[in-house]
Amino acid sequence: MLITADWIVPVTGEPIRNGAVLLSRGRIAELGPANELLARNPDARIHNYPGCTLMPGLVNAHTHLAMSCLKGLIPSQPFHEWLKHIPVAWNALSDDDIAASIAMGALRSIASGVVAVGDIAYGPESISIAADTGLGGVFFWEILGIELEGLPQALYDAEYPSDPLRGCQGRLRCGISPHASYTSGPRLLQGTHKIAMAQSAAFAVHVAESPAEVELLMRGQGPLTRLSDRLAAGFEAPGITPVRYLDRLGVLEQALAIHCTRVTPGDIGVLAAKAAGVALCPRSNAYLEGGSAPIRALADSGVALGLGTDSLASNSDLDLFEEARALQALEPSLSARRIIEIMTREGAATLGIAGRFGSIEPGRDADFAIFAVSGDDPHASLLADAGRSTIQAVMSAGVWRVLSSSPVMGVSRVERGSCIAAEKASLALASSMSDF
Ligand SMILES: [Zn+2]
């Protein structure tokens, strides 16, 4: 199969005008000028996409797909207030509701060109549903609020694979996340990190997301104190920044540091030296009044950056290009080319999956998105106009997932299941909002 477009943007090489990608057995066999590939492969089945740009499938570095059914249910407010509503909504959901919510999030991700995620998972459903829909990436089992001694049982109960390298491999990788320094105590932070490193699994932690988190760590005060007293066993305010605290515990090594809105120049140096990467979530940070990360300083520090939508409980959609436009608005000095890299190869690097996702190269799985976008500068054109509204086609693992702008997989049953979940969560929230 040969696919032609006005532009091929491989990310690891220069854009190819009037380019083509040759596929063989679900993999990229070759890419180059369309006329050359057409001449060498006269018998190939051809899909022409005039007026379009073909790029690698996008990498959404931070999602909570399981929370997709909460879209629009919790208003914008400071993070520590918003967080109180999450367990209320969550506890109203059955396993089937959560599965429908994950499926809806996965399909919406793919429908906007995403082929890999860094997802916070709460059990094995996220990874199995993602596999069914064609979504790959890293799935971090979230374990929080327990004593270290309870960790083996908690992992067992959450059906975390006993051998994550065998249990999930290839396009699907496993990881662990202890959520944050105010919901997991120091021993649990270290224990989860130790297991992840010993198993060559991934590790992620939310860090420096809100002013309240900094206030808690620096001074032991503020609106997160009750939560940390209840969940973070053994926590004592260290009097240093969240990044320094996690570094002192030794858990930033190879970690994906999520958010990092409240970081100092010194923190940025620590992140660059230790972390696997930083996931930026500008729209969620704005929704939860957390401010903006120092994007320019992080971008210049050498730490790998990824871009994440976070969950639909704190964002309006899972469209990574909408997130990218928010990033650019906050930091106009960041070039379109760098932002496209953050959405693809560099974002994949933050998750440790750049060897498989984020660029178009011979020998790799056929993972790409085609947008009805064209212009003399393909990076700028993509950043200006690509997204759910201009998607033409998506292929992941060599299978068409979106064709003629529509998901190939039937979505009506998934949407219905997710509507039921949203209704339950909405009722639970309505009866509890007056309590807060
Ligand atoms: Zn998150």
Same domain, 15 and 51: yes
Same domain, 49 and 65: no
Helix (H, G, I), strand (E, B) or coil at 426: helix
**Element holding 406 (H helix, E strand):** strand 406-407
pLDDT more than 90, % of the chain: 86
The answer to whether residue 410 sits within a structural domain is no
In the reported structure, the alpha carbon of residue 397 is separated from the centroid of ligand 1 by a whole-number distance in angstroms of 27
Partners of 5 in the β-ladder: 19, 49
What's the token pair of residue 415? 């949407």
The answer to whether residue 391 sits within a structural domain is yes
Last residue in a domain, options 350, 368, 389: 350
Return the CATH number at 263. Answer: 3.20.20.140
Total residues found in the chain within this entry: 436
The arithmetic mean of pLDDT across residues 261-287, rounded, is 98
Residue position matching structure tokens 């970690």 = 255
In the reported structure, the alpha carbon of residue 316 is separated from the centroid of ligand 1 by a whole-number distance in angstroms of 15
Partners of 120 in the β-ladder: 140
The answer to whether residue 38 sits within a structural domain is yes
C-alpha span between 246 and 251 (Å, rounded): 6
Written as one string, the DSSP assignment of 42-69 is TTS-EEEEEEEEEEEPEEEEEE-GGGGG
Same domain, 228 and 250: yes
Residue 338's Cβ-side half-sphere holds a number of Cα atoms within 13 Å equal to 15
Residue position matching structure tokens 């994906």 = 256
* pLDDT band at residue 168 under the 50/70/90 scheme: low
Same domain, 87 and 109: yes
The answer to whether residue 417 sits within a structural domain is no
Return the CATH number at 388. Answer: 2.30.40.10
Number of structural domains (the chain) is 2
Burial profile 3-16: b = 16 or more Cβ within 10 angstroms, e = fewer: bbbbbbbbbeeebb
Same domain, 344 and 390: no
The answer to whether residue 95 sits within a structural domain is yes
Burial profile 384-394: b = 16 or more Cβ within 10 angstroms, e = fewer: ebbbbebbbbb
Same domain, 131 and 275: yes
| Res 436: pLDDT | 47
The answer to whether residue 434 sits within a structural domain is no
Residue 260's Cβ-side half-sphere holds a number of Cα atoms within 13 Å equal to 38
Q: Which residue type is seen at 162?
A: S
Same domain, 155 and 296: yes
Candidate from 86-95, 157-166, 263-272 with smallest mean pLDDT: 157-166
Cβ 268 vs Cβ 304: under 8 Å? no
In the reported structure, the alpha carbon of residue 197 is separated from the centroid of ligand 1 by a whole-number distance in angstroms of 21
The answer to whether residue 36 sits within a structural domain is yes
Residues 35-77: tens digit of each pLDDT: 999 999 999 999 999 999 999 999 999 999 999 999 999 999 9
Same domain, 197 and 275: yes
Let me know how many helices (H) and strands (E) the chain has, helices first. Answer: 18, 16
Expressed in angstroms, the distance from the first to the final Cα of the chain is 57
Same domain, 306 and 319: yes
The arithmetic mean of pLDDT across residues 15-23, rounded, is 98
Q: Which residue type is seen at 11?
A: V
Partners of 277 in the β-ladder: 256
Same domain, 168 and 207: yes
In the reported structure, the alpha carbon of residue 142 is separated from the centroid of ligand 1 by a whole-number distance in angstroms of 10
In the reported structure, the alpha carbon of residue 355 is separated from the centroid of ligand 1 by a whole-number distance in angstroms of 24
Same domain, 268 and 381: no
The range of the structural domain enclosing residue 380 comes to: 2-56+360-403
Burial of 66 (0-12, 13-18, 19+ CB in 10 A): buried
In the reported structure, the alpha carbon of residue 265 is separated from the centroid of ligand 1 by a whole-number distance in angstroms of 23
In the reported structure, the alpha carbon of residue 310 is separated from the centroid of ligand 1 by a whole-number distance in angstroms of 5
In the reported structure, the alpha carbon of residue 62 is separated from the centroid of ligand 1 by a whole-number distance in angstroms of 7
Helix (H, G, I), strand (E, B) or coil at 20: strand
Same domain, 293 and 384: no
Q: How far is CA 266 from the centre of its chain?
A: 26
**Element holding 205 (H helix, E strand):** strand 202-207
In the reported structure, the alpha carbon of residue 380 is separated from the centroid of ligand 1 by a whole-number distance in angstroms of 29
In the reported structure, the alpha carbon of residue 206 is separated from the centroid of ligand 1 by a whole-number distance in angstroms of 6
The answer to whether residue 409 sits within a structural domain is no
Question: In this model, does residue 164 exceed pLDDT 70?
Answer: no
Residues 186-223: tens digit of each pLDDT: 999 999 999 999 999 999 999 999 999 999 999 999 99
In the reported structure, the alpha carbon of residue 119 is separated from the centroid of ligand 1 by a whole-number distance in angstroms of 9
Question: In this model, does residue 138 exceed pLDDT 60?
Answer: yes
